[in-house]
Amino acid sequence: DWVDVDAGLEHACAVKDDGRMFCWGFNGGGQLGMGDFGPVSVPTEIAGSIEDFVSVSAGSGHTCGLTSDGSAYCWGVNNFGQLGVAGGLPLTSPVPEATLSTWSHLSAGQDHTCGIRGCRNGCRIRRGRARAPRRGRAGWSWRTRRRRR
């Protein structure tokens, strides 16, 4: 049985109840996580040996998954740092997010990824490009904000 599904601009991914993730659709940025850039027309298991995904979020050209221990893995287009790792090049298979934080929620957008990580009182983190970049910031942004009560 499927436990989570999300659709990006031209691809979709889903998590099965055994923790495996499957993706399908356009793959020009590696967003299917297959280790290459070829399109797939049917749900196909992603590359790597991660078998404890609990949720998925599909962005415009990238995908992120959250595992049962709160680890975040992302893959696909990375031109604005939306995968949470440096480099700027697309990554075609899952890589762990750079801070190695414990996350409770992820949301992939057009050129960014947002998440809530497990810190005291809850923290929100955003990686990637904002629609209206802040002055003095080029492309990548990294913010930590405490939740207001």
> How confident is the model at residue 25, as a pLDDT?
98
Q: Report which of 83, 55, 84 is spatially closest to residue 67, judged by C-alpha positions.
A: 55
Decide: 34 and 84 in contact? Cβ < 8 Å.
no
> How confident is the model at residue 123, as a pLDDT?
53
pLDDT tens digits, residue range 90-120? Answer: 999 999 988 778 888 899 999 999 888 765 5
Cα(4)–Cα(37) distance, rounded to whole angstroms? 24
> How confident is the model at residue 98, as a pLDDT?
82
> How confident is the model at residue 84, as a pLDDT?
87
Amino acid, res. 40: V
Q: Which parts of the chain register pLDDT below 70?
A: 118-149
